[in-house]
Amino acid sequence: MNALLIFVVRLILGLVFGIMLIRLFRPEWGIYHGVVAGIILVVLAYIFALFRKKK
């Protein structure tokens, strides 16, 4: 797969799951917090992929 396509898929899934997690555990928080959580999930996915490739 193309690296850009992988990034886009990870970004979309990260944002969706971030918003769902924030809405599930903190419903009083806004959509902004969900987007931030999604971006954090995407960053963590790339960090864990980096660690996996080193081994």
- List the one residue out of 49, 43, 1 whose CA is nearest residue 18: 43
Gyration radius of the chain over CA positions: 13
- List the one residue out of 20, 10, 19 whose CA is nearest residue 49: 10
Between CA 45 and CA 6 the distance in angstroms is: 11
Q: What is the pLDDT of residues 6-46, one digit of tens each?
A: 899 999 999 999 999 999 999 999 899 999 999 999 999 99
pLDDT value for 55: 64
The answer, as to whether pTM is greater than 0.85, is no
Cβ atoms of 37 and 21 within 8 Å: the answer is yes
Split at pLDDT 50, 70, 90, the class of 53 is confident
Q: Does position 3 have pLDDT exceeding 90, yes or no?
A: no
Domains identified in the chain, total number: 1
Domain that includes residue 18, residue range? 3-54
Phi/psi at 30 (5° precision): -85, 180
